[in-house]
Structure 1
Amino acid sequence: MKKTAALLVAGSILATAAPAMAQDSDEETFTGFRAEILGGYDVSQAGSSVDDDSAADNDQSIDGLNYGVGLGYDYDAGGVVLGLEGEYTGSTAETEFADGDFEGFGIGNVEAGRDLYVGARVGVKANDDLLVYAKGGYTNMRYNLRSNDGTQDFRADLEADGYRLGAGVEYALSDNTYTKVEYRYSNYGDATIKFEGNAPDVQVGDIDIDRHQVMAGFGLRF
């Protein structure tokens, strides 16, 4: 259901800006390599197939600040912009003990680790300096496993593969600087526990974790 909603949001934004596709422009504002810094709000939560309501006030989620960097390349075809991109981000989100109640979301006591993303985006130019786009691709999330008291780290990570969908707007501040805001939805389904040293990996199998992010970015285009 959440995947369908994300697609509808992206489709609605693109449909609203569709008239701009018919406009020809000599300026290729959104062409070239780019590098950016990112920051925003991040929440991981139990998906529709996970339920750990041991207490009525368990919100089954963790949230925090998301931060990182991204690289990409765009080609401005004159109204339509096609691009490839990748990201490396981290998050401050972690499970907590609230008044003796463990606020988990189905995978134990964890803190969010690094997140890798690679994907593509397609956008339309609302005008010469404003791009409206949708994106999608592959993401690999790491959750650092911790002991039950919430303080001591295990030397193990839960790595999960999934997909990401999103939509956003990018504004060109100048020929080579820009800022952007976007919403992203990720779902993780295949997980593995990885230990340090020679201990073998443990295949957890299919899990269901949803991740929602609202991100802002500032970048340079080369």
Structure 2
Amino acid sequence: MKKTAALLVAGSMFAVATPAMAQSSDDDNFSGFRVEALAGYDVSQAGSTVDNDANPNDDQSIDGLSYGFGIGYDYDAGGVVLGVEGEFAGSTAETEFDDGDFENLGIGNVETGRDLYLGARVGVKPADDLLIYAKGGYTNASYNIRSDDGTTQYDADLDTDGYRLGAGAEYALSDNTFAKVEYRYSNYSDAELDFEGDAPDVAVPDIDLDRHQVMVGFGMRF
């Protein structure tokens, strides 16, 4: 599933970018290749099918700082701006015990690992230096599952697949620099446990994790 989704997105990126590269974007604030640094607020929580509504005191979310970088290519088609993009990020979010209450995501004691995204966006320009856009695509995130019974430490990566939707605003600071802010929602419904060494991976059916992020970015165009 992961390889198929990644190939489909990569093919879409190539199909959009190929005709666009043949056109000049020197005079446009939102055309061309871009790289960006990203940071923001990151929350992972139990989805609606696994949350514990019976106990309102049960903390079912973890939060922290998300940080990473992105690359992309945009093409100004006149009325709309079309783009493809990819991201690599990390997060400081992890489960904790708060006054004896364990943060229960439904998947155990975890810390958030790397966060991958491949997708596309489409936007409109209310002004020459402002882009309002929506985005969507494939996301893959890892959560490190850990436990310790006093004798043996257990450690494995929960490798999750899902989709991401979002919206944001990008402002051109100059001809080749920009800043942006965006909100994105991700849902992970497919996963497998990846063990160290020669142990085979194990499929984990019917997971349901929601992720909410508010991100800011600063980048350059080429």
Q: TM-score, normalised by structure 1?
A: 0.84
Aligned-residue RMSD, C-alpha: 1.7
Give 1:77's aligned residue: 77
The answer to whether the Cα contact below 8 Å between 2:34 and 2:72 also exists between their aligned partners in 1 is yes
- Displacement of 1:28 in angstroms is 1.8
Q: What CA distance in whole angstroms lies between the structure 1 residues aligned with 2:69 and 2:153?
A: 26
Give 2:16's aligned residue: none
Give 2:197's aligned residue: 197
Q: What CA distance in whole angstroms lies between the structure 2 residues aligned with 1:104 and 1:97?
A: 10
Question: After TM superposition, what 4+ stretches of structure 1 lie above 3 angstroms from structure 2?
Answer: 52-56, 152-155
- Displacement of 1:154 in angstroms is 3.5
Give 1:168's aligned residue: 168
Question: Structure 2: which amino acid aligns with 1:60?
Answer: Q
- Percent sequence identity over matched residues? 74
- Sort the Cα spacing of 1:148 and 1:95 in 2 relative to 1 into closer, same or farther, 3 A: farther
**Deviations 1:137-181, CA, capped at 9 Å, x for gaps:** 0000100011157xx974310011000000000000001000000
Query: Aligned runs of 1:28-43 on 2, under 5 Å?
Result: 28-43=28-43
Q: What CA distance in whole angstroms lies between the structure 1 residues aligned with 2:182 and 2:154?
A: 34
- Displacement of 1:32 in angstroms is 0.4
- Number of residue-to-residue matches in the alignment: 195
Query: Aligned runs of 1:64-143 on 2, under 5 Å?
Result: 64-143=64-143
Unaligned runs of 5+ in 1: 1-25
Q: TM-score, normalised by structure 2?
A: 0.84
Give 1:58's aligned residue: 58
- Displacement of 1:62 in angstroms is 0.3
Give 1:23's aligned residue: none
Question: Structure 1: which amino acid aligns with 2:78?
Answer: G
Q: What CA distance in whole angstroms lies between the structure 2 residues aligned with 1:93 and 1:133?
A: 27
- Displacement of 1:52 in angstroms is 4.1
Q: What CA distance in whole angstroms lies between the structure 1 residues aligned with 2:153 and 2:136?
A: 33
- Displacement of 1:103 in angstroms is 1.4
**Deviations 1:68-124, CA, capped at 9 Å, x for gaps:** 000000001123100000000000000111122211111100000000000000000
Q: What CA distance in whole angstroms lies between the structure 1 residues aligned with 2:116 and 2:154?
A: 22
Worse overlay, 132-141 or 102-111: 102-111
- Sort the Cα spacing of 1:40 and 1:67 in 2 relative to 1 into closer, same or farther, 3 A: same
